[in-house]
Amino acid sequence: MFTITQNQSGALPQVIPFKAPIAGNVTIAFSGTCWSKAASSAGGVAVFLDDKPIGEAPFYFNAANLHTALPTQLFPVMLKPGNHTITLKPLVPNTVSDQHDFFSLWVLD
């Protein structure tokens, strides 16, 4: 296991550079929190590796303005050696994060 980032806080979008210590078929694990401006709405976070979508962490927000943990997601990818970037973006405009939200990412081999 390799930690890309641990408990990085802040607003979406997030751009997280990292250097891959391994290559091949691996799994990228995502965990994070965010909130919605609107009650009773779908939202979540989209995850990109080197500007290509690898998956989503969707969530249905019953309440507005309530920081909520997203389900941990696992994304299988083919990782090449070298420098990479993970980008986290809101799935919909109502999904937001701030300094009270945290994101963690790992490479699992």
Mean of the per-residue pLDDT values of the chain: 97
pTM of the complete model beyond 0.85:
yes
CATH for 2-108 is: 2.60.120.40
User: Which residue, chain included where needed, has tokens 């390799």?
Assistant: 2
Q: Over the stretch 55-80, which tens digit does the pLDDT of each residue have? A: 999 999 999 999 999 999 999 999 99
Task: Give domain limits for the chain.
Answer: 2-108
Q: How many CB atoms lie within 10 A of CB 17?
A: 11
CA gap 81, 93 in Å, rounded: 34
